[in-house]
Amino acid sequence: MPAEIKILERAEMYLRKLSEGVNPLTEEALPETDVCKQERISKCLTYVADYLKQKVMPVMERREKVVAPKPQKVVKPRPVREVATQELVFTPEMLSKFEISVEPVSVSGVVRRLNFLIPHESGMMPLVYADVAEVLSREGVLLKEEGDKGKDLNLPTPRGEELGFAKVEADIRGHHSIYTKCNADAQKFILDNIDKCVAQANERLARRKSRAELGETGRSGKEKFHVTEEQLKNYPTDESPVPVSEIARRLNDLLPQDSNVEKIYFKAIRDWFVAQNMLEEKKTALGKIFFEPTEAGAQNGIVTESRVGKNGENYDAVLYNGAAQKLVLQHVNELA
């Protein structure tokens, strides 16, 4: 019921905005030729918005109050897995118990199913989502993109889509989510590359043990991000524009797997461009933060590409072409 009331509230707001000649998604004025600008249509929209607010929504709220509260669900605590001390190993026998789902499942869902195969008292290091996502990124199956609120999204590339990975948008527990699902072929691809995922998990275990031996707590104790001239020679020479998260991934791939150097986060690169007055932070009428290139940024290879957002609104994605990437490489050891 609360979810229905929220939907009605949003519908009332959308109708109200349209009746006033405003696009409710972008807060921009509608063109004079738009049908909502016609007086009869505008009055009709206002009438329906008033009807929702005065007649329908109060009834829904009263119904919500008289509904008897549901008995509180007793949640059983999950059994706590022992602290991992042993390297992860998936034997052929263990993997034979993995059931390929006919229905597509998320990458996290595949990770959970794999971890169910680990004997509870084995002390093995479990997989995490990042282990699998990192391998899929290296294989050219997933590509990191910057989502809302600066959150990284791992979405399928064209090759990933051919292998059975698909981008999905859904409202989960009241939040709009964008993530990747795997059909049966995609799940098999992960299983075919499971050794690489296991190596990622075991690297985490090795780093944890190393920190424990050094008596380190809290921060990782690693060196700040930096790369050598020799390592920079391995940076891809692709000139096509990419998001800042992809630049960060490419830079992190230059580091040896056993490196004691912290990885760089895309925000460090983005903030460097802001400090150089090549990117400008702005806010929409609704208070959402976004970035766009300044004149200096455009001259140095920062471009925008029109895309469609989760609510169907158009927005400009900020991308960095070859010139902008070269600028990053020239100042790479200043970024962290």
DSSP code at position 76: P
Residue 219 has pLDDT above 70, yes or no: no
Task: Give the pTM.
Answer: 0.46
Quick one: how far is CA 266 from the chain centroid?
13
Distance CA 152, CA 145 (A): 6
Give whichever of 12-26, 72-86, 125-139, 149-163 has the largest mean pLDDT: 125-139
Given this model, what pLDDT does residue 311 score? 62
Residue 328 has pLDDT above 50, yes or no: yes
Answer for the pair 201, 135: CB distance below 8 angstroms, yes or no: no
Beta-strand ranges (E) seen in 6-151 are 105-106, 142-146
Answer for the pair 210, 124: CB distance below 8 angstroms, yes or no: no
Given this model, what pLDDT does residue 163 score? 95
What letter represents residue 322's amino acid? G
What letter represents residue 91's amino acid? T
User: What's the start-to-end Cα distance of the chain, in Å?
Assistant: 48
Least confident residue range of 4-13, 107-116, 271-280: 4-13
Given this model, what pLDDT does residue 2 score? 60
Question: Residue-wise over 167-202: b if at least 16 C-beta within 10 A, else e?
Answer: eeeeeeeeeeebbbbbbeebbebbeebbebbbebbb
Write the CB contacts of 278 (distance below 8 Å, at least 6 apart in sequence): 293, 294, 296, 297, 300, 302
Angle at 151 between CA 269 and CA 128, to 5 degrees: 105
Closest CA to 325 of 230, 227, 250, 229: 250
Given this model, what pLDDT does residue 218 score? 40
What's the whole-number mean pLDDT along residues 42-57? Answer: 81
More confident residue, 95 or 72: 95
More confident residue, 278 or 171: 278
Residue 294 pLDDT level (bands cut at 50, 70, 90): very high
More confident residue, 21 or 186: 186
Q: What is the dihedral of CA 141, 145, 149, 150, to 10 degrees?
A: 100
Question: Residue-wise over 118-156: b if at least 16 C-beta within 10 A, else e?
Answer: beeeeebbbbbeebbbbbbbebebbbbbbbeeeebbbbb
Q: Is 276 exposed, middle or buried (0-12, 13-18, 19+ CB in 10 A)?
A: middle
Q: What is the dihedral of CA 197, 161, 320, 285, to 10 degrees?
A: -110
Residue 320 has pLDDT above 90, yes or no: yes
Residue 217 has pLDDT above 50, yes or no: no
Closest CA to 182 of 218, 215, 221, 156: 156
Distance CA 105, CA 283 (A): 36
> Is residue 172 classed as helix, strand or coil in its secondary structure?
strand
Q: DSSP letters of 285-302?
A: TT--EEEEE-HHHHHTTE
Quick one: how far is CA 33 from the chain centroid?
38
